[in-house]
């Protein structure tokens, strides 16, 4: 028997009991004849005490314990004279009667404290030590609780969790697949799924009208910060549903989970069109925790002889409330540099300060009268003391730049309350995007997304310009400016699916080879259906107000796709390669 | 709105309500002016009725519906005059007011009935149609319920579900790995996990003292019947536990799940040593639903001049109760052929019939007196009318043959009640098996399994013969002759782990390269730990009394590892191969 209680559970009510504890040595300290050991496990920390006057040998053994030694201690629970109110077990301590060292530990390469002195690389290499730290441990436990709450809600709603295969077929459309050579079928490869999309649609054809799965997905992309080659989705699909029924179910899920794991009551989930999101927030994932929406000043700004604005497709502005007196010329210059960074890409920044004394100061003052500039302020709901920030250029680019500037100003003005959760649905996305590089359309979501029913006819016989305007029955869930998930009503008709593949530049042969099984299934009684997938890692992170997903993953990979703890990927035996019918072909 | 109710829920209490139903056309039939349509969905079947005298056009539309058409029907619930007591909805029908065809269906290639006329290959190719059949659908739903019950129990027991990575490192020991070429690390490969074994041990070192995961695992083995290249495990690990604590927790899990999903109260889980299992049942996964245990007749049978027995290492027998009068010479010859099949491999079969009239008949009657043969019967607890079946030869082989013969006789004598569940723990497995082919020891479980504590010293300095006798702190859960899961207390000490690798024929370099990260972790305070993994597919199958796991998997692969529905694996683009730094090397 290694323990009768854990290190987090002893209270005053246990005083006088003989107990056994096992755990890790967090710290030892001496105080006169006494030696104290903080013993830690997953559940907490309990103070052990040894007295050299009672048992010299035992106490000396305790004095030799190193950090992270694994020990087992038996003894008597007693009330502490010097209580620690910051620790749930802080009213008591164990007077140790016997002590066993279960395993020694080398000195850890970084401190096992909430604020560690270990850098990212070191922490990843010794992930088992990193995970002993509360901030990481708590996130991993939180993730487990979220997963269970998700399952509880969906099972209660009659969803069935169905495992779809990991060894499937490569479909070069979209992101790059990881492939798996098949030894039994030489020269052939499986692919790891980027998502269970086609399988969940097949399950709808099979009649399982409510499917879900918390499932690993794989994408062989060049990794940006906070991207992982393997990640987890909450993947769902429903048959015989309209869009609003899907949104209601997953609004319910989000609400339930936030309440269950964080005791947060989410506010309403407004539904905002993609067009409105782009127009007002310059983003399809608006952070609606603060206002500062974008105003269109094009009509007001053009025709006054300022060439930059006159030649721009749009002139857009936001109002930085109360900032007229806060931003010096130097500050404005710095902000201008910020918007001109390649990540933002603006050409310049125009400001209009409506000073508290009613005077106007602007970088474009020589082109516009004070009255005109005040009329801009008034149009945008600004008051004396406010400052307008204005960008101009091509519509889509300027909106995106303005969206970034809005977020930056929200942060600078401390308008973003990290304790607030603002979910919303963004709906009515474009069906397709024109890609000038490849000179063809791409599906904005994926090629299985249905157009809105009123757009189906236009799609079947529309021209290029019509294509651009088609709306998809697609939706994204956004919380605090982060896209948590997205989905759509799907095409369930073979002819429409074929048409869509054609518009997306698939040859008939390609679409048949890659997705023939799905289109074949559509011919045997496919019901109308739609679904959604949540990024599970991100969902967990957002609920904790965290920007990084990495610590919500027990064993994340680094930006080169490497697991530095186990040192993978690695070379394999020549024999393995030969069995797979492969040769290396390295330059 | 596609439906207000589903096809399984209408009852007499709904009579008079206007409802909407959607689903698949199971069957249509005409009866005078009436047309009946059985509408099916996941939840059941509801009868729709159309009357040509009420609405000719509507009724004619109904008459044209084909099998598996997807329709939506609105109408009035009314009481049936001709009730169907075999169907929960059989008291009512819908008088249809409007009908919409949501999707047509080609004629399915096999009947969507409980007993289908489709062969295995056809059913797999059209798996979405196969899954519409109740026997398959019910198993998939059952699997989902089992998974949830497992999670519920383990979460209530303070286990944390932690996802371990899918892209790990190849370890050529054991079964063959599936590998995944890394584009970003050319010439290097990930491997798909055969199990999360090392990661769950790392999690114990990390302090998560109760881990579980329902997780996909991968093995690139030549597929025998009922093996899948990807399969699912309930994978668990605990720290600071003894063997009996592990067994108690997972006996509790098994008991809870059987009660939750099948309302079955399992009997006691006896604990049987590996030695006893082999001695009494000739198997390490004994089916204890019937007795017919194996008796050792070696001492009784040798020394009477019958060379076959005299030269055998052992002579073993079972008693086929009441069969003396049932087995003719011809039957005995057939049974002899059965034990001589290569799958069993016996050289011959000896019988002793103790006839009801007290006379003895035996194939070895000329070597043994009737008194001797009766003494065998009495030793084995046989009575008049019983028949002994006797095999001889080398110990291990004869035990296994006898185990197979015992199962066969159990089936023939109808001693195996499919409604009965007999779980047991088999414990104290050998630590290592000598493999004469490779001239070295193999780990019976895996190289992380700890020897029983009393055997550690023997292991550290034992010789070859001692090695063979070492016992592992390992255990298997067996139900009805099927191994559901297995596990062990693990080694948590670097020196012992190194010793074990050495005994198993690893060079120091090999063990460091493959498992250095784990042995490194053992140096930073690894707690004592142990765990278990259940075969999830098999667990589901056994609870349903099913022998095959295939229908508990939504999308199984065939014996060539192929998914015939999506036609995977498949060739990939030359461009993909090049990006991965690979050439095909096919003969």
Mark whether A431 and A407 lie in a shared domain: no
> Which chain A residue has its CA at the smallest distance from B217's CA?
A166
Cβ(A347)–Cβ(A393) below 8 Å: yes
- Among the partner-chain residues A69, A137, A199, the one whose CB lies closest to the CB of B207 is A137
- Here the tokens at position B5 are 């109710």
Q: Which residues in chain B have their CB less than 8 angstroms from residue A183's CB?
A: 176, 220
What value does the CA radius of gyration of chain B take, rounded to a whole number of Å?
30
Q: Per residue in A491-502, pLDDT tens?
A: 999 999 999 999
Other Cβ atoms less than 10 A from the Cβ of B358: the count is 10
pLDDT tens profile A255-309: 999 999 999 999 989 999 999 999 999 999 999 999 999 999 999 999 999 999 9
Q: What's the domain count of chain A? A: 4
Mutate to test the interface with B, among A3, A139, A142, A144 (most CBs of B within 10 A): A144
The per-residue pLDDT for range B22-79, each reduced to its tens digit, is 999 999 999 999 999 999 999 999 999 999 999 999 999 999 999 999 999 999 999 9
Query: Does residue A278 sit within a domain?
Result: no
A585 to chain B, any CB pair closer than 8 A? The answer is: yes
Distance CA(A486)–CA(A159), nearest Å, equals 18
B207 and B139 in a common domain: yes
B526·A141 Cβ contact <8 A: no
Domain ends where: A524, A545, A574?
A: A524
Residue A367 has what pLDDT?
96
Residue where a domain stops, chosen among B379, B412, B445: B412
- Cβ pair A203:B131 closer than 8 A: yes
At a CB cut-off of 8 Å and minimum separation 6, what does B329 contact? none
Pick from A165, A209, A527: CB nearest B563: A165
Q: How far is A147 from chain B (nearest CA, A)?
A: 8
Task: Tell whether B309 and B391 lie within a shared domain.
Answer: yes
Taking the CA of residue B584 and the nearest CA in chain A, the distance in Å comes to 5
- pLDDT tier at A209, thresholds 50, 70, 90: very high
Distance of CA A412 to the CA centre of its chain: 23
Query: Is residue A164 one of the residues assigned to a domain?
Result: yes
Asked if residue A5 belongs to a domain, the reply is: no
Chain A from 327 to 366: CB within 8 A of any B CB: none
Q: Which of A294, A261, A253 has its CA nearest to residue A277?
A: A294
Cβ–Cβ contact B111 with A under 8 A: no
Answer yes or no: is B575 within a domain: no
Over 80: is that where the pLDDT of B460 sits?
A: no
CATH number at residue A154: 3.30.930.10
Interface probe for A, chosen from B552, B569, B579 (most Cβ of A below 10 Å), is B569
Q: Is the N-terminal amide bond of B569 cis, ω within 30° of 0?
A: yes
Q: Is the pLDDT of residue A27 over 80?
A: yes
Query: Is residue A128 within 8 angstroms of chain B, CB to CB?
Result: yes
B384 and B315 share one domain: yes
Tens-digit pLDDT profile for residues B137-194: 999 999 999 999 999 999 999 999 999 999 999 876 678 999 999 999 999 999 999 9
* Mean pLDDT computed over B558-579: 92
Q: Which of A103, A140, A568 sits opposite B525 (nearest CB)?
A: A103
List, for residues A86-110, the tens digit of each pLDDT value. Answer: 999 999 999 999 999 999 999 999 9
Q: Does A431 reside within a domain? A: yes
The position carrying tokens 């609400």 is: A255
Whether B537 contacts chain A with CB within 8 A: no
| Distance in Å from the first CA to the final CA of chain A | 58
Is the CB of A554 less than 8 angstroms away from the CB of B3?
no
Cβ(B510)–Cβ(B447) below 8 Å: no
Instruction: Give pLDDT tens digits for A447-491.
Output: 999 999 999 888 877 678 888 899 999 999 999 999 999 999 999
Distances in Å between the alpha carbon of B73 and those of B41, B215, B568, B572?
13, 41, 39, 45
pLDDT at B463: 79
CB contact under 8 A, A565 and B517: yes
Residues B460 and B513 in one domain: yes
Q: A341-355, A410-424, B431-445 — which is least confidently predicted?
A: B431-445
Cβ of A182 within 8 Å of Cβ of B561? The answer is yes
Asked whether residue B80 falls in the same domain as residue B183, the answer is no
pLDDT at A332 over 70: yes
Q: Do B157 and B99 share a structural domain?
A: no
Nearest CA in chain B to A199: B555
Which residue, B498, B524, B550, sits at the end of a domain? B524
pLDDT in tens, A98-144: 999 999 999 999 999 999 888 889 999 999 999 999 999 999 999 99
Cα–Cα distance, A270 to A397 (Å, whole number): 26
According to the model, what pLDDT value does residue A464 have? 81
Tokens of A379: 């149009």
pLDDT band at B367 (very low <50, low <70, confident <90, very high): very high
> What is the crossing angle of helices A134-156 and A536-543, to 10°?
110
User: What is the mean predicted confidence (pLDDT) over B396-404?
Assistant: 97
| Minimal C-alpha gap between B441 and chain A (Å) | 22
B191 to chain A, closest Cα gap in Å:
8
B259 and B175, same structural domain? yes
Instruction: Please check whether residues A328 and A451 belong to one and the same domain.
Output: no
Could you tell me if residue A544 is left (phi over 0), alpha (psi between -120 and 50 degrees) or otherwise beta?
Answer: alpha
Range of the domain at A453: 423-524
Is residue A216 pLDDT above 80, yes or no? Answer: yes
Contacts of residue B222 in chain A, CB cutoff 8 Å? Answer: 184
Per DSSP, A10 falls in state -
- List, for residues B268-277, the tens digit of each pLDDT value: 899 999 999 9
What is the dihedral angle through the alpha carbons of B320, B326, B330, B335, rounded to the nearest 10 degrees? -20
Instruction: Please tell me the predicted confidence (pLDDT) of residue A173.
Output: 65
A320 and A391, same domain (yes or no): yes
For residue B162, which residues of chain A lie inside 8 Å, CB to CB? Answer: 140, 143-144, 554
Q: List, in sequence order, every residue forming a beta bridge with A518; answer none if it has no partner.
A: none
Q: How far is A388 from chain B (nearest CA, A)?
A: 46
Same domain, B323 and B251: no
Cβ-Cβ contacts under 8 Å for B56 (sequence gap 6 or more): none
Name the pLDDT band for A378 (thresholds 50, 70, 90): very high
Q: Is A198 on the interface with B (CB under 8 A)?
A: yes
The reported pLDDT for the residue numbered A394 is 97
Tell me the shortest Cα–Cα distance from A151 to chain B, in angstroms: 8
> Which has the closest alpha carbon to B277: B399, B367, B359?
B399
Q: Is pLDDT of A226 > 80?
A: no
Query: A15: pLDDT confidence band, cut at 50, 70 and 90?
Result: very high
- Cα dist from B534 to B152, B219, B485, whole Å: 16, 16, 4
Q: Do A206 and B131 make contact, defined as CB atoms within 8 angstroms?
A: yes
Establish if B1 belongs to a structural domain: no
Q: Is the pLDDT of residue B395 over 80?
A: yes
A vs B: CB pairs below 8 A: 350
Q: How confident is the model at residue B462 (pLDDT cuts 50, 70, 90)?
A: low
| pLDDT for residue B226 | 73
Report the pLDDT averaged over residues B2-11.
Answer: 98
Contact of B509 with chain A, judged by CB distance below 8 Å, is answered with: no
Lowest mean pLDDT among A10-19, A360-369, A542-551: A542-551
Kindly report the average pLDDT of chain B as a whole number.
95
Which member of A1, A192, A524 has the closest CB to residue B105? A524
Name the pLDDT band for B523 (thresholds 50, 70, 90): very high
Confidence of residue A248 (pLDDT cuts 50, 70, 90): very high
For residue B438, pLDDT over 90 is answered with no
Sequence-separated contacts (24+) of A31-38 with Cβ below 8 Å: A35/A59, A35/A62, A35/A63, A36/A93, A37/A62, A37/A65, A37/A71, A37/A73
Interface contact A132-B207, CB threshold 8 A: yes
Q: Are the beta carbons of B22 and A527 separated by less than 8 Å?
A: yes
| Tokens of residue A231, six digits | 């990640």
B104 contacts in chain A (CB < 8 Å): 523, 525
Residue A69 in any domain: the answer is yes
Rounded to two decimals, the ipTM of the complex is 0.95
| A554/B230 Cβ within 8 A | no
Measured between alpha carbons, how far is A15 from A199 in angstroms, rounded to an integer?
58
Q: How far is CA B476 from CA B66, B166, B495, B535, in A?
A: 52, 26, 27, 11
Q: Is residue A139 part of a domain?
A: yes
Residue labelled with tokens 């309403």: A268
The b/e string for B316-349 (b: 16+ C-beta within 10 A; e otherwise) is: bbbbbbebbeebeeeebeebbeebeeeebebeeb
Please report, for the domain that includes residue B372, its CATH number.
3.30.1360.30
Task: For residues A411 and A434, give the distance between their C-alpha atoms in angstroms, rounded to a whole number.
Answer: 33
C-alpha–C-alpha distance, residues A445 and A452, integer Å? 13
At B21, the pLDDT band (50, 70, 90 cuts) reads very high
**Could A207 and B132 be called an inter-chain contact, meaning their C-beta atoms sit closer than 8 Å?**
yes
| Closest alpha carbon within chain A to B2 | A240
On whether both A382 and A433 belong to a single domain, the answer is no
End-to-end distance of chain B based on CA atoms, in angstroms? Answer: 58
């Amino acid at each position: 028997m290694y323990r009768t209680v854990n290190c987090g559970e002893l209270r005053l009510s246990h005083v006088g009991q003989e107990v056994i504890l096992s755990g890790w040595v967090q710290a030892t300290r001496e105080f006169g004849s006494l030696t104290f050991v903080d013993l830690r496990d997953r559940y907490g920390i309990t103070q052990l005490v040894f007295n050299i006057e009672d048992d010299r040998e035992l106490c000396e053994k305790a004095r030799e314990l190193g950090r992270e030694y694994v020990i087992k201690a038996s003894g008597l629970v007693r009330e502490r004279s010097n209580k620690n109110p910051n620790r749930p077990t802080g009213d008591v301590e164990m007077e140790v009667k016997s002590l066993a060292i279960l395993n020694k530990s080398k000195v850890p390469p970084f401190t096992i404290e909430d604020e560690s002195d270990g850098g990212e690389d070191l922490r990843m290499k010794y992930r088992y030590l990193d995970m002993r730290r509360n901030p990481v441990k708590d996130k991993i436990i939180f993730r487990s609780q979220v997963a269970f709450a998700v399952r509880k809600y969906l099972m209660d709603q009659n969803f069935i969790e169905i495992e779809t295969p990991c060894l499937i077929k490569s479909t070069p459309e979209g992101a790059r697949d990881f492939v798996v050579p098949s030894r039994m079928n030489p020269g052939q490869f499986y692919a790891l799924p980027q998502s269970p999309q086609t399988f969940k649609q097949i399950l709808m054809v099979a009649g399982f009208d409510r499917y879900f799965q918390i499932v690993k997905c794989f994408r062989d992309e060049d990794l940006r910060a906070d991207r992982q080659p393997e990640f987890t989705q909450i993947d769902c699909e429903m048959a015989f549903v309209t869009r609003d029924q899907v949104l209601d179910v997953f609004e319910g899920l989000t609400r339930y989970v936030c309440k269950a794991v964080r005791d947060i009551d989410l506010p309403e989930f407004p539904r905002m069109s993609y067009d409105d999101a782009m127009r007002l927030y310059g983003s399809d994932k608006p952070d609606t925790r603060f206002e500062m929406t974008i105003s269109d000043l094009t009509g007001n700004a053009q025709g006054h002889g300022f060439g930059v604005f006159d030649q721009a497709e749009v002139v857009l502005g936001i109002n930085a409330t109360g900032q007229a007196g806060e931003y010096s010329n130097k500050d404005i210059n710095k902000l201008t540099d910020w918007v001109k960074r390649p990540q933002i890409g603006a050409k310049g920044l125009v400001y209009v300060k409506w000073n508290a004394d009613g005077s106007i100061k602007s970088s474009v003052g020589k082109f516009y009268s004070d009255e005109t500039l005040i009329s801009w302020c008034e149009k945008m709901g600004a008051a004396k003391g406010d400052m307008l920030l204005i960008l101009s250029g091509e519509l889509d680019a300027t909106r995106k730049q303005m969206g970034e500037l809005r977020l930056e100003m929200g942060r600078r003005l401390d308008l973003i309350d990290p304790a607030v959760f603002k979910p919303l649905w963004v709906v009515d996305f474009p069906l397709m995007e024109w890609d000038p590089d490849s000179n063809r359309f791409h599906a904005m979501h994926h090629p299985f997304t249905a157009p809105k029913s009123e757009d189906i006819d236009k799609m079947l016989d529309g021209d290029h310009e019509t294509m651009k305007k088609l709306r998809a029955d697609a939706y994204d869930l956004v919380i605090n400016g982060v896209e948590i998930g997205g989905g759509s009503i799907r095409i369930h008709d073979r002819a429409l699916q074929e048409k869509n593949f054609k518009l997306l530049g698939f040859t008939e042969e390609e679409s048949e080879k890659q997705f023939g099984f799905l289109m074949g299934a559509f011919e045997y009684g496919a019901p109308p259906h739609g679904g959604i997938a949540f990024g599970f890692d991100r969902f967990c992170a957002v609920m904790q107000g965290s920007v990084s997903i990495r610590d919500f993953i027990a064993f994340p990979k680094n930006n080169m796709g490497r697991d530095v703890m186990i040192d993978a990927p690695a070379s394999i035996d020549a024999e393995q390669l030969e069995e797979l019918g492969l040769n290396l072909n390295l330059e």
